[in-house]
Amino acid sequence: MTKKVFITGANKGIGKEIAYQMGENGWTILLGARDASRGLAATDELKTKGIDATYVNIDLQNHETISAAVNTIKSEHPDLAMLINNAAIPGDMRKPGSEFTVNELREVMETNVFGTFDLTQQLLPTLEANNGRILNITIPIGMSDFFNPFAYKTSKAALNAMMQSFAQNFITAEKSLEIFGIMPGGVTTDLNGNMTGDFMKTVPEAGKLITDIIFDGKNHNSEIINFNGKTADYNGGLF
């Protein structure tokens, strides 16, 4: 039986690569993107490669589009087996935190935390009915001399905390749900201005390490997994 996955922000970058690699493994792709022209173009590209893909419009800063996407999935794809929360915006990755305005921080949190929470919460009944999994693409939140994007890191810290709180709820209530995070490390994408270097991965490399974990047959509920396969100590920000 074909399994279905909904991936947000899948019209480019890591999200698109995950869609491609999961499609190559026989999954049906529900490709989420806020820009219809880009989303449809990415969906058509997957189809030319023999992948079963459908575009789903969603803007994580717009509650109405989130609810519309959920309603579409509930009515047309009630067998959804996995949600991958990939979509995110970075904010100014170089500006010191003390120089951010409240509105600048709020914009990043709206997409990366509140919109993601809204979507995840609304899809829980559908996912639970299918013994579903939820994957959040995330980052380390410990102190670093080399990586200190204030709004992005703050939003991902909140996302990590949300994920682990959900995981504990699933365990306590004995729900047939799994939620976990993967930190792919430095990846050359539009989000970071296509930064390159010895420490950066290509998008296909990042997609492979993520899908390798997805397909490893293990239950990763509550785990935040680093690109090297080690589980992060979230409280200490260590690996």
Q: Which pLDDT tens digit goes with each residue over 160-199?
A: 999 999 999 999 999 999 999 998 765 656 565 555 556 6
Q: Per the domain annotation, does 44 fall within a domain?
A: yes
Q: What is the number of domains present in the chain?
A: 1
At 94, list the tokens: 């170089």
Amino acid at 208: K
pLDDT tens digits along 122-171: 999 999 999 999 999 998 887 777 788 899 999 999 999 999 999 999 99
* SS3 call for 33: strand
CA dihedral (14, 19, 21, 22) in degrees, to 10, reads: 130
Identify the domain containing residue 177 by its residue range.
4-226
Instruction: Give, for 105, the enclosing helix (H) or strand (E).
Output: helix 102-109
Give the pLDDT confidence score for residue 26 in this predicted structure: 96
Q: Per the domain annotation, does 238 fall within a domain?
A: no
Q: Per the domain annotation, does 237 fall within a domain?
A: no
Q: What is the CA radius of gyration of the chain?
A: 17
pLDDT tens digits along 17-64: 999 999 999 999 999 999 999 999 999 999 999 999 999 999 999 999
At 163, list the tokens: 């994920």
Parallel, antiparallel, or unpaired for β 53-57 and 80-85? unpaired
Q: Per the domain annotation, does 232 fall within a domain?
A: no
Q: Per the domain annotation, does 236 fall within a domain?
A: no
Read off the CATH number of the domain in which 58 is found: 3.40.50.720
pTM over 0.75: yes
Q: Which of 77, 162, 88, 168 is nearest to 123 (CA)?
A: 77
Q: Per the domain annotation, does 207 fall within a domain?
A: yes
Q: Per the domain annotation, does 235 fall within a domain?
A: no
